[in-house]
Chains A and B, each alone.
Chain A
Amino acid sequence: MVMVLQVITKKREVYMAKNAQHWEKTKGLLIVTLAIWAIFSMGIFLFGAEMNSVSGPFGYPLTYWFTCQGSLGIFVILIFWFAGRQEKIDEEFGFAERGED
């Protein structure tokens, strides 16, 4: 009886440890993603006036380009990248859902 209880407690601890590790990695990914997000949604616009005198992609003024294409496009790519990374983390710990979307 005592042994059974010990096994259950052990399993629960392993599970908890796995959960905690999974959440640590998830938080790490969140921080990286939000850092990139903050740079392209806010950070670069601290230097909007200075950056705009530089010629950006396709010859548009750089800040202007970021507001109409650059930042927007980066957000699209960033979300798909994040989704892919998070899936990998979930799979690593066996927390991914079964079945396909």
Chain B
Amino acid sequence: MIKGNFIDNLPKIYGIYTGGFLGFIILMAIGEQMGMTSKAIGICFVAFTVAIYAIIGWLSRTAQASNYYVAGRSVPTVFNGMATAADWMSGASFVAMAGGIYFKGYGYMALLVGWTGGYVLVATLLAPYLRKFGCYTVPDFVGTRYGGNTARLMAVIVLTVASFTYVTAQINATGTIASVALDIPFQYAVYVGLVSILLCSMLGGMRGVTWTQVAQYIVLIIAYLLPVFWISNNIGAGFFPHFMLADEVARIGELEQQFGFVKNAAADLKTVPKGLAGITKAHSEVNATPWAFISLALAMMMGTASLPHVMMRFFTTPSVKAARKSVGWSVFFIFLLYSSAPMLATLSKLALIDPSLPTGIIGKSIAEVQAIDWYQNWNSANLMFVSDFNGNGTVELNEFFMAGKAVVLATPEVAGLPYVISGLVAAGGMAAAMSTADGLILAIANAISHDVYYKMIDPKAETAKRLTVARVLLVVIGFAGATIAAMEIQGILGSVIWAFDFAMSGLFWPLVLGVWWKRANKEGAVAGMILGLLSGLFYLIWVRSGGSGFLGITQLTFGIFGSTVSLVAMIVVTLMTSEPSSAIQKMVDDARVPAGAQVISQK
């Protein structure tokens, strides 16, 4: 199947795949009508989709370095766009984003702007030039452009710090979903998730990951959009929610006015299970200062342009031109999900708080709410909670609590959709977390196998040996990630945002100036990476340990400080040392022109 004119047949192959998946959903819906248990449906959804990814991973097996590292540079723009979107949208985007918007409103939506706007920087500043360079990994670019093992090694370190912060959250998310869907304890489920992840990437490297990511994108976008449209129609909000929810947004505003945001006593809040939040912020009002919003958006945008697992997706296109266009397709496919998240948050909130809707619980008696089936389910999973703080017998807005991820996971059930949709959502969340984890683990393993092992330790290694090292590293890093994930240190989203800040602190300026400032040299880049990463890290530790911070830079935006230090250090040190050799300057010239051979020729 993955031979001969596979590339020409892509639309047909994935068309059949999409049809087959929709058929599978219908089959499950029929199964539910005929009395299949919800547990059986959940297991079928997760097992069936993971089995498909594993088959794709096996079919994409390869023994060639260029296939393993850059999918043979043959991925067409639209498909690379889908793969990038899946690579990009993590378990956090899928499960936690709508919840973040639900509870934090405007201040949180800076992430939507940041996580799409960053691609403008990718398209204009970096992707086409790094593609022309012909590197296999991001540190490969840094090492070649600046010359020397120190620069290369520093880039590997920054990459590892940023990507590893990110990957544990993804393995954690696959574990959470696997444990719920397959009904096994979390500490085993994490390793089930890990094995699924490795099945996609181990045999085929980037090639395997590319074609499974396309398959995963299709599953996750169907799983996200179908419930949004269905719920919108179910509660009579309009058949195309994106264009039709203005009245619902306004209605939420009215209800907020009517109920008011009552502040709960600290003693009352202590009784609320950990991790649950109440509705304390207006849905569509501006609730953050301009700088709070802009600084978060800026940090996410610069972080996007510095995250190696995203950048390396654009190394797989057939040409420089294709790399640019495929950035456009990537944001388009991301846009489909991101523009739906606020709609889901709106529908979910309205369904629960509007007393005139049958699903509304505010204003109902406590006993009545506690008797609802779905409330009992989600309450026992510690994702939902009501309590009669003021003792008046009815549920008030300030007496209702929910976990952020329940917005995506529980809303279908709350809105009265059949269980098959909840099974589909579980499969979608699994796809989102797996695809991102695959990209991240591969980015780390490839950087260590290609840049550290092949370029620094054993430059004469045979391809077979290099790929064996790459695969062993993949497994080792996966297990390390799973082990840390099993310890559950940080919430899903906290560590995801830190990854962006680490990446931008260490890598943003060395990458950008590597293309746009010919004078930039090795000493400057090394100083930029070391001082950027360290200053970012110290700022984070300082703020975490009670430091006040400055200029409104928080633990979510510490990359702004790190990258500024990095920029200054890089310019100062570069100007104090000699300009790069004429060979390197020629390399930069060549990278700026799309035509002609790649700057580095790879074996």
Contact = CB atoms under 8 A, between A and B. Distances in A.
B322 A73 contact: no
Contacts of A98: 595
Contacts of B595: 90, 94-98
Contacts of A14: none
A63 B246 contact: no
A67 B592 contact: no
Nearest to A68: B342
Nearest to A79: B328
B455 interface: no
B321 A96 contact: yes
B593 A95 contact: yes
Contacts of B124: 30, 33-34, 37, 82
Contacts of A66: 113
Interface in B299-319: 301, 317-319
A73 B324 contact: no
A89 to B, nearest CB: 10
Contact of B117 (A19, A41, A59): A41
A63 B286 contact: yes
Given A41-B301, A95-B594, A71 B328 contact: no
Contact of B594 (A59, A64, A76, A96): A96
Contacts of B109: 67-68
B320 A41 contact: no
B106 A73 contact: no
A13 B31 CA distance: 74
Main secondary structure of the interface of B (DSSP, over half): helix
Nearest to B317: A101
B155 interface: no
Interface string B438-457: 00000000000000000000
Contact of A61 (B244, B249, B328): B249
Given A46-B294, A48-B286, A58-B246, A76 B328 contact: yes
A3 B592 CA distance: 31
Interface stretch (B200-208, B330-338, B358-366): B330-338
A56 B503 CA distance: 35
A79 B118 CA distance: 11
B123 A67 contact: no
Interface size class of B (residues with CB under 8 A): 35 or more
A21 to B, nearest CB: 12
A76 B339 CA distance: 12
Interface in B246-269: 246-247, 249-250
Contact of A83 (B112, B249, B285, B325): B325
A90 B328 contact: no
A49 B535 CA distance: 33
B112 to A, nearest CB: 6
B589 interface: yes
B53 interface: no
A50 B444 CA distance: 45
Interface in B565-595: 589, 592-595
A71 B117 contact: yes
B467 interface: no
A58 B319 contact: no
Interface string B34-77: 00000000000000000000000000000000000000000011
Nearest to B518: A23
Given A64-B106, A64-B249, A41 B113 contact: yes
Contacts of B342: 67-68
Contacts of A80: 325, 328
A79 B116 CA distance: 11
Nearest to A23: B592
Contact of A68 (B112, B298, B324, B331): B112
Given A98-B595, A101-B76, A63 B298 contact: no
Given A63-B286, A72-B338, A101 B319 contact: yes
Contacts of B120: 33-34, 37, 41, 75, 78-79, 82
A10 to B, nearest CB: 19
Contacts of A97: 319-321, 594-595
B77 A101 contact: yes
A76 B250 CA distance: 28
B286 A37 contact: no
14 contacts: A47-B290, A58-B246, A60-B246, A61-B285, A63-B106, A68-B109, A72-B116, A72-B335, A82-B120, A82-B124, A83-B321, A96-B321, A99-B319, A101-B321
Given A48-B288, A67-B106, A76-B331, 5 more contacts: A19-B589, A68-B109, A68-B342, A83-B325, A97-B595
10 smallest beta-carbon distances between A and B, as pairs: A59-B246, A101-B322, A68-B342, A41-B117, A67-B109, A83-B324, A79-B328, A80-B328, A37-B120, A64-B284
